[in-house]
Amino acid sequence: MATIADMTLDDLKQLILDLMEERRLSYLFGELDMDENDLNIEDEPDNRTLEEVFASVERNRWTPPAGSPTPTEMLRQSRDEH
């Protein structure tokens, strides 16, 4: 297709969706210097029970040290610095 005028409405919608996805991926991965293939997403479904998932979350939970700023405080500090 040479111009937008030659596109059907569906073609135009798909073009817009493709551009939005490209921009979203660029935003997500551009700063990290990685692409979708680096995500290591498994093709196999996770067959764990809900209890197993909760136990995994509990085992892998990280608690920041006492006196650390809260996320809200960190956001405010970042905003104030810029």
Q: Is 12 within 8 Å of 4 (Cβ atoms)?
A: yes
Candidates 38, 17, 36; CA nearest to 26 is 36
Q: What is the value of pTM for the model shown?
A: 0.34
* Sequence spans of domains, the chain: 1-39
Distance of alpha carbon 49 from alpha carbon 55, whole angstroms:
10
pLDDT at 6: 87
> What does the pLDDT look like over 1-25, one tens digit per residue?
568 888 899 988 888 888 888 887 7
> What does the pLDDT look like over 26-79, one tens digit per residue?
766 665 566 666 666 666 778 899 999 999 999 998 888 899 998 899 899 988
pLDDT at 29: 64
